[in-house]
Structure 1
């Protein structure tokens, strides 16, 4: 750290490190050093700790629960209670505070979202909206922000070729996806509703559960209130009753995002299939 100015460490297959050693790493490294770990081991190895073992520490764990629950939502197979839990930072499962959860939907291992979803850009956009409005630390894989494909290769660790090389022309081809990610990141940085440091209580977060079981609404309160409406149903619309009187500003309509607003809504909002919407008041 002193010589190369390393600012953090990621522990691959982190649970093969025994619990006491991991605790020493957390205790002895300077407090400004970033620490994150995969909270699992290879199939033939023994897990020596669990996600819940390092509650109330600065070790952020790769949240495979978030990955699986949000992918299920996007594919129309949501368990709504599970989706609400991971959107709130996985607190009360195994995290004591949102920063312990490193949220991701694709990584160097496994399929990219482009390879999972194919040409269904609705799913790609819904994934971006869910990832960047959830409590916790969002992780964006290289090229995810412009819907990068690895040609269907889900285990490309040994590919020194176009599978792993970044084709930057795809960014211009999928400029709409890139602009959505960019706008969501700017929104997240501007409004602390999306970056709570402690587990949220009922004064900070509430939920809307419409009749469509593959949809969920998240109310994030603060100086301004945000509604994040997610519909993972690929065929049916989801009608959300808005929680207070007066007009809400639509800042993301599922395709575009603008802090200045893209329209308004009063009373209710009917979200199209496989779409995420963000409103503000």
Structure 2
């Protein structure tokens, strides 16, 4: 049976097949010092005859192995056959490419009819998928692009795939890419469209690196690599798929470096435990709060609105609920992040003084700003959030 779409499927029910897999993995770990594996089309490995089963021999033998069970195990949690889409269904000890994160974030920033509730779930590590079964936010490998599909540049430049060079009459590759070309298909000299595309790339990179979980960045997305709209370039060993270091978007590269640095500097965006939505000890402020533009807490009915394109989220730096490597309680600055996917600017009222004061702008994707000492704003004041942009404010922790 071809469960993968790439030929007959390896049958992991046979002991000699399992032995081959385990011997290979151990060799790569012990002799070649590989520290982890990403399993392509991993749902096919979970099949017992035809049905998928996370209690199959493949998982059992890996979990009991003292060597393999200690390295990083990452699944591409799907194949092409029935019951093959297993996002959120792999056992403890595994991380997964989060395809739901990819689709949701793409839809949000292109203006699709996505609900705020799902966007909030994906931003907080997808607890609806991973919180059960002894898994942490690190189980979610967050991605917006991968080696299959559009690059980040092409994601904001094309509505349709352009795979003519692959020799299959443009019939290969995915047809639904959740992309938006910002008004023109392909390259353009229009400065307004190019500025919007640049902003959309910054929006998605910022969302990716500030989301709970593990961010995955495809080589070349940090400097604007394009495949000319080809979303299935595995067969192209030429300019379509190569990394062109002579055509680097230096502004995008610097922004990407800045957002990675920012994420590493602040443990608020690298939490090892789930948000609880409960007050922090010694305070009546929760570890996370969601706000409407008017400065009011998000009511239940607002989560289900398809046409809602913006929200604010407060992250309490005292609510990380972890210790660092020397056993001391881990704290950070507090942050207020505003996502605005509307095509017009919005006025947002900042949280009250109980959440901290004053607020300093540290990221603004509308102009590519990243810094620790930006413009300051008083608690409860109003701030303009530009159209299709992310604004991140910080309240310093003493």
Same-fold status (TM-score > 0.5): yes
Of residues 211-220 and 84-93 in structure 1, the stretch that sits farther from structure 2 once superposed is 211-220
Q: Write the distance in 2 (CA, Å) between the matches of 1:199 and 1:58.
A: 16
Deviations 1:118-165 (A, max 9, x none): 231111110011001100000000111112111111001111111111
Moved more, 238-247 or 71-80: 238-247
Match of 1:111? 150
Alpha carbon RMSD of aligned pairs, Å? Answer: 1.9
What does the per-residue CA deviation read over 1:213-271, in whole Å, with 9 as the maximum and x for residues that have no partner? 201222111131011211112x2112222112342110112133444322122312221
For the pair 1:50 / 2:145, whether they are aligned, the reply is no
Looking at CA atoms only, which structure, 1 or 2, has the larger radius of gyration?
A: 2
2:290 to 188, 207, 222: 207
- Asked whether the 8 Å contact 1:74–1:127 carries over to 2, the reply is yes
Q: Secondary structure at the match of 2:128?
A: coil
1:125 aligned onto 2:202: yes
Q: How many residues align?
A: 275
Write 1 or 2 for the structure with the bigger share of strand: 1
Aligned to 1:238: 346
| d(CA) in 1 for partners of 2:219, 2:385 | 30
Matched position secondary structure for 1:157? helix
- For residues 143 and 63 of structure 1, what CA distance do their matches in structure 2 show? 20
Which structure is higher in RCO with an 8 Å CA cutoff and minimum separation 6? 1
- Using the TM superposition, name which of 243-252 and 33-42 deviates more: 243-252
User: Where in structure 1 are there 5+ consecutive unaligned residues?
Assistant: none
Alpha-carbon separation, structure 2, partners of 1:229 and 1:150: 32
2:62 is aligned to: 25
Q: Distance in 2 between matches of 1:189 and 1:23?
A: 35
2:104 to 69, 76, 90: 69
Whether contact under 8 Å (1:207, 1:218) holds in the other structure is: yes
In the aligned structure 2, how far is the partner of 1:155 from the partner of 1:144?
Answer: 16
Partner of 2:231: helix, strand, or coil? coil
Report the more deviating stretch, 26-35 or 135-144: 26-35
Residue 126 of structure 1 aligns to a residue whose secondary structure is helix
Matched, 1:224 2:319: no
Relative to structure 1, the CA distance from residue 208 to residue 147 in structure 2 (aligned partners, 3 Å threshold; closer, same or farther) is farther
Q: Give the C-alpha shift of residue 93 in structure 1.
A: 3.2
* Distance in 2 between residues matched to 1:84 and 1:185, nearest whole Å: 21
Q: Counterparts of 1:71-90 in structure 2 under 5 Å? A: 71-77=106-112, 78-90=114-126
1:182 paired to 2:254: no
Which residue pairs with 1:161 in the alignment?
238
Cα offsets for 1:54-96 (capped at 9, x unmatched): 35x2311111111111111111224111100000000123444
Alpha-carbon separation, structure 1, partners of 2:313 and 2:220: 28
Does 2:154 align with 1:97?
no
> Who is 2:298 aligned against?
none
